[in-house]
A = this chain, B = another copy of it.
């Protein structure tokens, strides 16, 4: 099962950290790729690719100008995370390839129509970062948090107090 995240309407000045957090969450919680629309942002791409290089796995970040093209070509299910949608508890999502849409400030009404499911992680205002994390956590039933990433140079050894980080660049 392939999972991609589509982040709509990125604005470099205003959204850089939120989009980066969306990308980090996508990777850490088991998505394969994030695609973003809006303003092309090589800095965010570079910092995300650096994370993947150091922490492992094959996560990709891609820019696409035209979101409609992605929606029209997508062969699996499209889930749009929005506070206006049906609560996640009331939706049973088929086990197919997933495109998960997280919006920016203004989501075109067409996105609601073209999505198979408009899903609310609660109907209160909060955060696309949180919504994405909760959604992926439910999809993977929490198992993604134990996943090991291939070719990782950095690895944390969990501690009760303090920090322990294995760095394979230094070891070898």
Contact = CB atoms under 8 A, between A and B. Distances in A.
Q: Report copies per complex.
A: 2
A46 interface: no
A159 B21 contact: no
A83 interface: yes
A127 interface: yes
Contact of A118 (B85, B137, B160): B160
A62 interface: no
The number of chain A residues touching the other chain, given as a range, is 35 or more
Nearest to A155: B123
A124 interface: yes
A112 B163 CA distance: 9
A29 interface: yes
A87 B21 contact: no
